[in-house]
Structure 1
């Protein structure tokens, strides 16, 4: 059985966008299976006892964060555009449908490219359907899953299990008993994986 990297993310997270650009190749090189798990960052923070404001509400922090994001995007030679809205919960939920269809990597990459690469409005259902098509998924089946009680219950269960495991933000990667938080911890993740072969 191959080792797993559990990747916890939320499509509202630009640092998760950056991390997912590199994680598939990191996983392949290490012979690991990459598992995609959507969370809800504001909910995760509260579950962990963090009741502080979001980064967007702290003006000095957002200025530095924007500079960091642009530096990382330049380093990765990746586009970076803030989305027209942060209405990403349906996109998060749809990840579970993509997982069931064996298309999680393709879906997450396509979704992040649209949301943070192109800056689309995630509240536009047409964009979600286009993303499904790009990832090789049936757009009507994907949106039906998101709108169903089954889909919403699966998303709720996935979030609950994540918070029970200690997930407090994103991007967050679990391997064995190790936790790596943030795009800037990918080097540590790679180092750990290389030492465990």
Structure 2
């Protein structure tokens, strides 16, 4: 069963989740997407766009990283424009090496990633021309990735997807593994019932 992992470098939770995903014995295809476009398609704001929630989220992810033994240092500013990093990743074939290098640059070393100039050392280490990585081919492939993710129902990052199931968030990793190893888990009567639970009230 193909397994896809949708992510954006703007997300520190994606960085944390990647540390688990890359260790899975199953083959997983990393799919870089534009989180901002997903938010727009869903008509919602990101956590870093909401005062109060922004600060809580930053502290929460730092706490999670420390609990999981993962080094995490925030870049100079957040949120930042992740397009340069996403396009560089796409230009490098979205390989595990490229994903690792970019995540480490941004979230392990705490460096800026909002321009091709800022990412020039990473591009050089990957053997990619930094300026060429921002060309039309990389832009088109990133756009296609994002459109396909939205069409598949992705509403946040990170998301692990297999079959028609989506598992969103670093903290859903164990749930995703349980369902991957035992698909019957989702056939439980209460699991089925809540999937079609009626909406009791809608905010206008």
TM-score range, shorter chain: 0.7 to 0.9
Check conservation: 2:85, 2:114, Cα contact below 8 A: no
Shift of residue 13 of structure 1?
Answer: 0.4
> Which consecutive residues of structure 2, in runs of 5 or more, have no partner in the other structure?
184-204
> 1:111 is matched with which residue?
102
What is the RMSD of the two structures over their aligned residues, measured on CA atoms?
2.0
Moved over 6 A (4+): none
Is the counterpart of residue 14 in structure 1 residue 12 in structure 2? Answer: yes
TM-score with structure 1 length normalisation?
0.83
Query: Secondary structure of the equivalent of 2:23?
Result: helix
Residue correspondence of structure 1 range 156-175 to structure 2 within 5 A: 156-175=143-162
> Higher Cα Rg: structure 1 or 2?
2
CA deviations over 1:158-194 (Å, ceiling 9, x no partner): 1111111112210011011211000000011121222
> Taking CA–CA contacts closer than 8 Å with sequence separation of 6 or more, which of the two structures ends up with the larger relative contact order?
1
Check conservation: 2:154, 2:166, Cα contact below 8 A: no
Instruction: Flag the 1:147–1:132 CA change in 2: closer, same or farther, 3 A.
Output: closer
> Which consecutive residues of structure 1, in runs of 5 or more, have no partner in the other structure?
none
Check conservation: 2:84, 2:115, Cα contact below 8 A: no
Cα distance in 1 between the residues matched to 2:131 and 2:147:
22
> 1:138 is matched with which residue?
127
Cα distance in 2 between the residues matched to 1:185 and 1:143:
37
Q: How many residues in Structure 1 have an aligned counterpart in Structure 2?
A: 182
CA deviations over 1:22-58 (Å, ceiling 9, x no partner): 10112x1xxx2111111111211111232x3x32232
CA deviations over 1:107-144 (Å, ceiling 9, x no partner): 1111111101111011353542322344xx3132x541
Cα distance in 2 between the residues matched to 1:43 and 1:152:
14
Instruction: Flag the 1:36–1:61 CA change in 2: closer, same or farther, 3 A.
Output: same
TM-score with structure 2 length normalisation?
0.81
Check conservation: 1:84, 1:122, Cα contact below 8 A: no
Q: Tell me which of 50, 70, 77 is aligned to 2:62.
A: 70
Is the counterpart of residue 153 in structure 1 residue 145 in structure 2? Answer: no
Check conservation: 2:116, 2:134, Cα contact below 8 A: no
Is the counterpart of residue 25 in structure 1 residue 23 in structure 2? Answer: yes
Cα distance in 1 between the residues matched to 2:2 and 2:71:
28
Compare the two structures and name the one with the higher helix fraction: 1
